């Protein structure tokens, strides 16, 4: 990695494995593949069409299977799991961290799940159950239960001896968790504090008490916010009585942030978060058809509005030429407002206290830009069609549509959030329905009123 | 935090500070405010209209100023810095980590920057210069230079004594960095390895050698990928000769991931990453006007295409009613393909070896959905207007437009990337230009050919 960017490295490996697969020396492909990190293998698999993917998946050392599955998006993971037999699946789940296992377990077929649980030792089973009690996207669902705890009243020296006796620590252990005798969370003991302080000190004297435990019910998004704000590497998860349940590590938080980001980008286009770019044609078509169908319905609504003014268009066909401009500018301006407000809501920057301010500002911005571009469009329309009236009508319609776009751009996410619908996904469709309908209706309506009567 | 979700907590604080500001007891507002974490203060400030924001900013304890500024988006940060005098700014930069300082320094006015550099001790200045040598979005720009290094041939016992003597470790130190006598990077020594192994072992015996150093030129995105794939908390940054330059910690990587996500969501709507939702009306209007202007140009292009067929529309006004459906469905289908391919490129899943596969798949999906919805639209059009010919024409135009949408949805991001233009920002506008123009042209063109001649 010191001499090649990892991106190029994967492309190279991809190409080489492809070549080797074609020339038939499986042994070499296997060696090349299993020298990679499981995350890199996962990435390779995600970059391959299904046929090649299955071939390569066969070559992966079974001992990496679990880790590789974890690093795959839901879609690809599901398709590979379907091709594995119970034996292989059970083997893949061994050796995984409990929080990761909890992630995977939900994708396993029922029979395999039962087998896996049966084969598990009691402690591991109890831990898994503790995690599965909570929704996947909550602090409880993200936590791992293999915490290393210490009591507040012992000396650092005792802790040091205990650790040496214990041997290996769980991954990403940057702190030990301090609890009282009822297992209630008291604070954190950073490993660095163990190393730099006099061993005669007690844990209570050097532990950090300013990092609160995270309630198991907290949403994944809240957890991410706490980690980001406080620059944490790990944090304790507690129940309602303050009892320690487990710990969350930054690598899981990074996954949450990445998924959230994917969700908003993909959701806006009506795609699922983990959409496999190499999904089978039929599956992709079926999924996308739904989104197209919804959009078709709104398009027909807009067409219906235009249909009301057929008579007007017949008399002055320039209207048909200009009308999409009014609709599309409303959509563009509205989606800027919508994007800003949806992000503001997600970051919790938008609240009751400042809503009126945001409404006023967005409408003012819409009005200003409405006036500016109304003027430009009017001038072009007048030059193009030599008709002052049409210029005035399109200017009025544009100003109206941009003001409405600002209002609905702020209003839609607020209403959707009230209804518990994700505004990042549904917001865009609803917005353009408004701006199309109002754009066409105002332009053609004003034309009907003013063009032939005045 | 144990009993209230942090989101609610900030809203509450926001409301309470608002109330207190109005009732006039500044002392209480100040106390409430400065009890918060700097990241929470930053969040509060970002959730306030400018007037209130300045008032509250005055109340923040100057010793937190630097940390708070760091947690703010570029826009808000810039506006607050403009209101500070040189003295306050210099004070704010003291005590910041060098990598954070490097971030902030680029926003400081020239005079303040000079003063700040003048007041800095030599070692800190050298470190700052080392970071500023590299672009902000590269491994070098992200790194901090206060590394704790050890030599491979010493015993753990020596390291333990050294650390106790040294006292405090830099934030997020989960590993020490092992170098040879020429300061070349050799590997990492996790703190946990120090704690669990026999102190008689040498560093070389227990250090981790499987984590490569990250080249200073690596892009921030590559850094994030390495951290995500390997679940790292910190990593070493090296120059071309393998010499240790500094280290990157996970908190900076989390910021990179968050910014990348913001960039793709905001960029799609033509907004800047850090757009302040409470920005002044004139500033917002001016910025958004550019995007609206670009879109207006493409809308006129589409209008121009419609204009070519004025005669046809005049003869059959139903065409004006139905034509937006063809254009809009192409845009929706195309943006699904575009989103998928842009993400595939960002994740480096799309490469030469599989491009043909992706093209074929997307065109097949487009064709299938084109046929499905062409049928539906044709039936509705026939029922609506009682005209079989129009049904056939719209079906043909839709199939054509959805196939083209798939082609350009894959092609545009590839071309833009070649041209070094961010496909996440420019892709959508270019795509809808294509789908609008081809949608209108195919529908109206086919109508002109078939409706009155056959």
Structurally, what CATH architecture does the domain formed by A6-134 represent? Alpha Horseshoe (1.25)
DSSP A138: B
Angstroms from A367 CA to nearest CA on chain B: 9
The confidence score (pLDDT) of residue A105 equals 82
Which of B107, B261, B353, B48 has the alpha carbon at shortest distance from A21?
B353
User: Whole-number mean pLDDT of chain A?
Assistant: 88
Are A213 and B2 within 8 A, CB to CB? yes
Does B45 or A452 have the greater pLDDT score?
Answer: B45
Are A351 and B47 within 8 A, CB to CB? yes
Q: Are A68 and A93 in contact (CB under 8 A)?
A: no
Mean pLDDT of A229-249: 92
Angstroms from B346 CA to nearest CA on chain A: 10
The shortest CB-CB distance from A348 to any of B10, B231, B318 is to B10
The confidence score (pLDDT) of residue A453 equals 65
Q: Are A139 and A216 in contact (CB under 8 A)?
A: yes
Nearest residue on chain A to B320, judged by CA atoms?
Answer: A320
pLDDT along chain B (454 residues), means of 10: 44 67 75 86 88 88 90 88 85 82 82 81 84 89 90 94 89 90 94 92 93 94 90 93 93 88 86 84 90 94 95 93 95 94 87 86 93 95 92 95 95 93 89 96 95 69
Interface of B with A in 279-318 (CB under 8 A): 281-282, 284-285, 288-289, 291-293, 295-296, 299-300, 302-303, 306-307, 310, 313-314, 317-318
CATH 1.25.60.10 in chain A: give the residue spans. 6-134
Asked if B349 has any chain A CB less than 8 Å from its own CB, the reply is yes
The confidence score (pLDDT) of residue B1 equals 35
Are B277 and A339 within 8 A, CB to CB? no
Partners of B1 on chain A (C-beta within 8 Å) are 212, 214, 226
Which of B86, B266, B416 has the alpha carbon at shortest distance from A347?
B266
Partners of B43 on chain A (C-beta within 8 Å) are 229, 347-349
Q: Are B243 and B183 in contact (CB under 8 A)?
A: yes
The confidence score (pLDDT) of residue A14 equals 65
**pLDDT at residue A265 is higher than 70:** yes
CATH 3.10.580.10 in chain A: give the residue spans. 149-268
Interface of B with A in 426-445 (CB under 8 A): 436
**pLDDT at residue A57 is higher than 80:** yes
Q: Are B36 and B13 in contact (CB under 8 A)?
A: yes
Which backbone phi and psi does B408 adopt, to 5 degrees?
-75, -30
DSSP A183: -
Are A215 and B344 within 8 A, CB to CB? no
The shortest CB-CB distance from A292 to any of B6, B353, B369 is to B369
Question: Domain A281-450 sits in which CATH superfamily?
Answer: SLC41 divalent cation transporters, integral membrane domain (1.10.357.20)
Structurally, what CATH architecture does the domain formed by B149-268 represent? Roll (3.10)
Angstroms from A277 CA to nearest CA on chain B: 7
**pLDDT at residue A6 is higher than 60:** no
A296-333 burial: b if 16+ Cβ within 10 Å, else e? bebbbebbebbbebeebbbebbbbbbbbbbbbbbbbbb
**Tally of CB atoms within 10 A around A282:** 11
Predicted-complex ipTM score: 0.85
Interface of A with B in 202-261 (CB under 8 A): 212-215, 218-219, 222, 225-231, 233, 238, 242, 250-251, 253-255, 257-258, 260-261
Lay out the sheet containing B175-179: strands in order across: B149-151, B175-179, B185-190
Among A62-76, A90-104, A436-450, B351-365, which is the least confidently predicted range? A90-104
Give the end-to-end CA distance of chain B in Å, rounded to a whole number: 74
The confidence score (pLDDT) of residue A32 equals 84
User: A309 vs B12, B267, B317, CA distance in Å?
Assistant: 51, 36, 10
* B377 three-state secondary structure: helix
Are A310 and B295 within 8 A, CB to CB? no
Q: Give the distance from CA A8 to its chain's centroid.
A: 26
Q: Which distant-in-sequence residues (6+ apart) come within 8 Å of B203 by Cβ?
A: B150, B151, B152, B153, B154, B155, B156, B159, B178, B189
CATH 1.10.357.20 in chain A: give the residue spans. 281-450
> Distance (Å, rounded) from C-alpha A256 to C-alpha A275?
17
The confidence score (pLDDT) of residue A13 equals 66
Partners of B218 on chain A (C-beta within 8 Å) are 5-6
The confidence score (pLDDT) of residue A3 equals 39
Partners of B285 on chain A (C-beta within 8 Å) are 364-365, 368-369, 372
């Amino acid at each position: 990695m010191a001499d090649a960017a990892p991106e190029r490295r994967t492309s190279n490996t991809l190409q080489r494995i492809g070549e080797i697969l074609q020339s038939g020396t499986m042994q070499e492909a296997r060696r090349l593949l299993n020298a990679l990190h499981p995350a890199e293998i996962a990435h390779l698999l995600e970059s391959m069409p299904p046929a090649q993917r299955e071939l390569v998946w066969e070559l992966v050392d079974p001992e990496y299977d679990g880790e590789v599955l974890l690093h795959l998006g839901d879609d690809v993971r599901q398709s590979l799991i379907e091709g594995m037999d119970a034996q292989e699946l059970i083997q893949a789940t061994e050796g995984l961290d409990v929080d990761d296992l909890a992630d995977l377990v939900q994708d396993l077929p029922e029979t395999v799940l039962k087998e896996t649980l049966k084969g598990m030792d009691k402690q591991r089973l109890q831990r898994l159950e503790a995690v599965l009690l909570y929704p996947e996207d909550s602090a409880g669902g993200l936590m791992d239960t293999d915490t290393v705890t210490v009591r507040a009243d012992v000396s650092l020296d005792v802790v040091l001896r205990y650790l040496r006796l214990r041997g290996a620590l769980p991954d990403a252990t940057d702190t030990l968790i301090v609890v009282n005798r009822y297992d209630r969370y008291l604070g954190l003991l950073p490993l660095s504090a163990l190393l730099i302080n006099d061993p005669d000190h007690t844990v209570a004297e050097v532990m950090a008490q300013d990092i609160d435990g995270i309630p198991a019910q907290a949403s994944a998004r809240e957890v991410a916010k706490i980690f980001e704000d406080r620059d944490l590497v790990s944090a304790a998860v507690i129940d309602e009585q303050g009892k320690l349940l487990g710990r969350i590590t930054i690598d899981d938080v990074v996954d949450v942030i990445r998924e959230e980001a994917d969700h908003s980008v993909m959701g806006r286009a009506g795609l699922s978060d983990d959409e496999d770019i190499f999904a089978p044609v039929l599956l992709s078509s079926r999924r996308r058809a739904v989104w197209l169908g919804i959009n078709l319905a709104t398009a027909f609504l807009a067409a219906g509005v235009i249909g009301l003014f057929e008579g007007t268009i017949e008399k002055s066909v320039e209207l048909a030429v200009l009308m999409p401009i009014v609709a599309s500018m409303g959509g563009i301006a509205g989606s800027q407002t919508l994007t800003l407000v949806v992000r503001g809501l997600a970051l919790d920057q938008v609240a009751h206290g400042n809503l009126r301010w945001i409404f006023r500002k967005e409408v003012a911005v819409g009005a200003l830009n409405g006036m500016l571009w109304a003027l430009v469009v009017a001038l072009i329309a007048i030059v193009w069609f030599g008709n002052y009236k049409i210029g005035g009508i399109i200017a009025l319609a544009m100003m109206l549509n941009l003001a409405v776009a600002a209002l609905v751009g702020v209003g839609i996410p607020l209403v959707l959030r009230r209804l518990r619908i994700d505004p990042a996904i549904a917001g865009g469709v609803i917005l353009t329905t408004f701006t199309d309908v109002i754009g066409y209706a105002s332009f053609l309506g004003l034309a009907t009123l003013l063009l032939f009567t005045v």
